Structure 1
Amino acid sequence: MHSSKFCLNIAGDTPSSNRLFDAIASHCVPVIISDDIELPYEDVLDYSQFCIFVRTSDAIKEKFLVNMIRGIGKDEWTRMWQKLKEVEHFFEFQYPSKEGDAVQMIWQAVARKVPVMRMKIHRSMRYSRSLIHNNRELRTIPTPSNFW
């Protein structure tokens, strides 16, 4: 992998995979074949600067991948390769954790999501008072004498 210029990152049956991390650590430009992949730190990193994205419908076309990769010039590949070297530390786990490593990036991603999650919780609770009120009303409805 370390001597490869491009590494396939094919969607699997789980949301995460080591393939992407291995490619980045090896400075091998990831060729991501997926329509709906969720990438780590995507709200911070522009993966299009160091990855190639291919729709699954295009990837299954005969010779599409080979022609696409052959169409990437040396200058473009070099730019992507240099960007890989710049971002690789975001994917490295260290003990103890250091500024800008994977542990710090994960905590920062969690911190960015907390306000959104709080807002969703608060929004979901908007009508909780009326639900409680309605549930109380349902409990007080008398059942007909011949029901049971």
Structure 2
Amino acid sequence: MNKQLQTKLVRFLTDQEEWKRSGGRDHVILAHHPNSMLDARMKLWPCMFILSDFGRYPPNVANVEKDVIAPYKHVVRTFVNDSAGYDDRPTLLYFKGAIYRKAGGIIRQELFYLLRDEKDVEFSFGTVLKNGIRQASNGMHSSKFCLNIAGDTPSSNRLFDAIVSHCVPVIVSDDIELPYEDVLDYSEFCIFVRASDAVKKGFLMKLLRSITKEQWTQMWERLKEVEGYFEFQFPSHKGDAVQMIWQAIARKRSSCLSCSTFHASCPLSQSNLTAPLQL
């Protein structure tokens, strides 16, 4: 049934005059889950996709030039009125989630065996079932750093859970693309570690223990400033995730229209769309 519905969707869209006019290059399609429209995506690639990452897309179908990366909706509760600074968070590093993954996520089990016996580290299996979300929320709220490790695809909602928990994300995912990366400097509130370095014995712990209280506090303060960009709200409010995604779409469109020569991958090449995008 899923395949049949996708086939009908492709047929419906490509039959429309609006699609024929531009070949789909002025269309925007939300396909945020990594498995969204597995069949249809191969035929709808001229459009602009809104995605969580490019992990399951060939580069000719989705790429950073034409598509928009949007955040996951966070699962844990937002840390409201957070005064839990450096000394109030006893756990140095926190991870709770699925440990055994495939593809790029194999690194999770390597890190588990490296870190499970480290002092001040909580690295354990967890799910959203039963009290899993509440436990994860409490764990992130009481931790200085939160591990964000590649899973079956480069990204996961865990990064955005960490952001709204004001737990400094430690990103171990070499191929990750981040939301609003063209306007937001993630190095101000995240730590990036190459996978090849992360699996070296002692490397990660030495790095995190070298970060001073003052450095951590600067990142913690910045997390509280940017967390609103990752909040999905209805109705939408200025500066929330919905508005940030529309602005990212507008920047892609503006970039395409300002090019002297359109590229084949551009979502608006050969388009006669001239009116400004309404946000």
Q: Tell me how large the CA RMSD over aligned residues is.
A: 2.0
Displacement of 1:105 = 0.4
Aligned residue number for residue 205 of structure 2: 66
* Cross-structure match for 1:80: 219
Which residue identity lines up with residue 7 of structure 1 in the other structure? C
Q: Is the 8 A contact 2:154 2:173 kept in 1?
A: no
Change (3 A) 1:105 1:66: same
SS in 2 for 1:124: coil
Closer, same or farther: CA 64–100 of 1 in aligned 2, 3 Å: same
2:251 to 102, 109, 112: 112
Please identify which structure carries the higher helix content. Answer: 1
TM value normalised by structure 1? 0.78
Q: 1:29 aligns with which of 140, 153, 168?
A: 168
Please, which of 127, 135, 150 is the counterpart of residue 11 of structure 1?
A: 150
Q: Which runs of 5 or more structure 2 residues have no equivalent in the other structure?
A: 1-139, 266-279
Separation of aligned partners in 2, 1:91 and 1:51: 15
**CA distance in structure 2 between the partners assigned to 1:120 and 1:30 by the alignment:** 39
Distance in 2 separating the partners of 1:72 and 1:123: 43
- Structure 1 stretches (4+) deviating beyond 3 angstroms? 115-125
Out of 239, 243, 262, the position equivalent to 1:100 is 239
Higher relative contact order (CA 8 A, sep 6+): 2
Amino acid at match of 1:62: K
Q: How many residues align?
A: 125
Cα offset for 1:4? 0.8
Q: 1:124 aligns with which of 257, 264, 267?
A: 264
* Larger gyration radius, structure 1 or structure 2: 1
Percent identical pairs in the alignment equals 71
Q: What are the ranges of 5 or more consecutive residues in structure 1 without an aligned counterpart?
A: 126-148
SS of aligned partner of 2:141 = coil
